[in-house]
Amino acid sequence: MSAKRRILVLHGPNLNLLGLREPEIYGATTLAEINESLAESAGEQGFEVDCQQSNHEGVLIDWIQQSMGRVDGILINPAGLTHTSVALRDALAACGLPIIEVHLSNVHMREPFRRQSFVSDVALGTIAGLGPPGYRLGLRALMERIQA
């Protein structure tokens, strides 16, 4: 039997507050609920997810570097770092893994500074504005790409 394929799911700064603060923007679903739903979807396809959240740029970069050779793809919501972090982008580009970027909100309908992403052009694709189901859609796209 072949080894289970693994996907690293990274959640950036403040996403630990999901479901607890600002539900009018980010909804009532908690991060734990999103992670549970991803684990279920992954399991159905013979994949495993490793879900991590950090408020610290360097910690996220360490996890990306450590994932090289250990996972088959990365699903990431870089949160505020999307719009600021060249270092996070460089780590994602260097890891050589397929990447999908997810945003809960439609960043294009919000403040102009949210339209710029340092991650989008090193990702296979970006999903924005679909709320928590967007994570499952992104995961599905990533699994299909890995299986192809």
Q: Which residues in this chain contact ligand CA2 in the complex, by CB under 6 A? A: 14-15, 17-18, 21-22, 26, 77, 79-80, 82, 103-105, 107, 114
Residue closer to ligand CA2, measured from CB, 103 or 136: 103
Single out the residue of 41, 100, 105, 103 nearest to residue 75, CA to CA.
100
- Joined tokens for residue 60: 């996220």
Strands (E), 20-92: 47-53, 73-77
In whole angstroms, the minimum distance from the beta carbon of 144 to ligand CA2 comes to 22
Active site residue 26: yes
Indicate which residue of 26, 56, 83, 108 is catalytic: 26
Give Cβ neighbours of residue 65 (< 8 Å, ≥ 6 apart).
Answer: 91, 94, 95
Tell me, yes or no, if 103 is annotated catalytic: yes
> Looking at beta carbons only, is 14 or 45 nearer to ligand CA2?
14
Token pair 């967007």 is found at 134
User: Based on CB atoms, which residue is closest to ligand CA2, 67 or 117?
Assistant: 117
**Residues marked as catalytic:** 26, 103
